[in-house]
Structure 1
């Protein structure tokens, strides 16, 4: 595991309990809920199946997906976060894992949710993650990714009442959409909304669908 991933895991292990308590009511924004509902409707319309909440944290969004009628489980880098999720939502499955090497078979997911889970990943490392997301999605499966809008990196040394060692990355929506396309994930819908307190930047949500081979593969053939 890289130094950055180790620092991220340690930071979230440290803040896990306070993070879960402070953000337990953070899913109430109407536009965010609408994108989650659209994602769930697309998965159900495609016949349903297993959905992974990648970077699930304490599981607050995982359980919301279940309430939307999805067969959802969570994966997170932080054992501390997974422990909180298991304790809070014992009827759901949560596993420790990394988004660059998911312990999932090819084409096994009907859907994948990436709810701000790439916020600590530099944009030039996103293609590796997106390729992994596409690998585990079944043909026609859907991906919903949420992220902070911008084009900069912010250093975070204190959060949720604790010292942390994190870099927060903001992404231009057009750039993310292009990376999704290059990974073989076709954009279905995009929403960019203005910041709402205590947010400092606009927020973006892109719904994409696994289609054929990535352009680079198709071209090579």
Structure 2
């Protein structure tokens, strides 16, 4: 299968590319060429910049499927799908789309975030979830019936640039007193980036 992966050189995207190559797919990357430039030397790499609307490298290209790891506002989704021809689109989204993060057992029917200004492209803690909702809606509008939306939770694992998990192991290894959240018995649900990547590729 000919796959276009948008991003693909940092954390989850890097794991998705690795899984796609291992599964035997023909992979092309589309990104700004600023991160992980030495990775995947045998793959085709197309350079562009969605922040400026530069999709020239994708004009006239046809792919069996597109996987977008880094869409943060709906214009990015619309412009991408207008620039490239594909039969299927996978959007890596987030559980931050849900209006409540306190209700357990939510499914796809749960209430979603809304924005007071749906035209904003400023990404903050307050707008992130709502913008991802709009990204999902844009994808469905552009390619109805052929969209996979992956609402990821807390992702950890190899090449995690956020240091959300490595911080704790490194800090505890140093010894001494460690400041931790007070509820030590709270359950934390997480997924390894490599496991999510393999699942995504299996579903494309």
**Which of the two has greater strand per residue?**
1
Tell me the TM-score normalised to structure 1 length. Answer: 0.47
Structure of higher CA gyration radius:
2
Greater RCO (Cα-Cα under 8 Å, separation 6 or more) = 2
Tell me the TM-score normalised to structure 2 length. Answer: 0.50
